[in-house]
């Protein structure tokens, strides 16, 4: 194995949009900001959260969802 070819690792703070924070080591210098992490991702939590941006989910449900009545 060649000497001195591996990048330097630094301790970085990772922050998620949900508020979760933890420290890890990375070749990236500076803090890392995430939109989704293992604390809030539906695969890991078992919960599903729908983020409705500009009413898109409601519009989809209105257009393609089950019709009650009629």
d(C-alpha 35, C-alpha 26), whole Å = 18
- Hey, where are the domains in the chain? 10-64
Give the number of residues written for the chain.
Answer: 70
Task: Calculate the CA dihedral of residues 23, 28, 34, 38 and round it to 10 degrees.
Answer: -50
Token pair in block for residue 2: 């060649």
Is the pTM higher than 0.75? The answer reads no
- Per CATH, the architecture of 10-64 is what? Irregular (4.10)
For 3-61, write each residue's pLDDT tens digit.
889 888 899 999 988 888 999 999 988 999 888 887 877 776 777 666 666 777 778 88
Confidence bin at 66 (pLDDT 50/70/90): low
d(C-alpha 21, C-alpha 11), whole Å = 13
């Amino acid at each position: 194995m060649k000497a001195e070819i591996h990048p330097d690792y630094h301790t970085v703070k990772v922050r998620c949009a949900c508020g979760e924070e933890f420290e890890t080591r990375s070749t990236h210098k500076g803090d890392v900001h995430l939109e989704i992490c293992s604390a809030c991702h539906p695969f890991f939590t078992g919960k599903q959260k729908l983020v409705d941006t500009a009413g898109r989910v409601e519009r989809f449900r209105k257009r393609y969802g089950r019709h009650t009545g009629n």
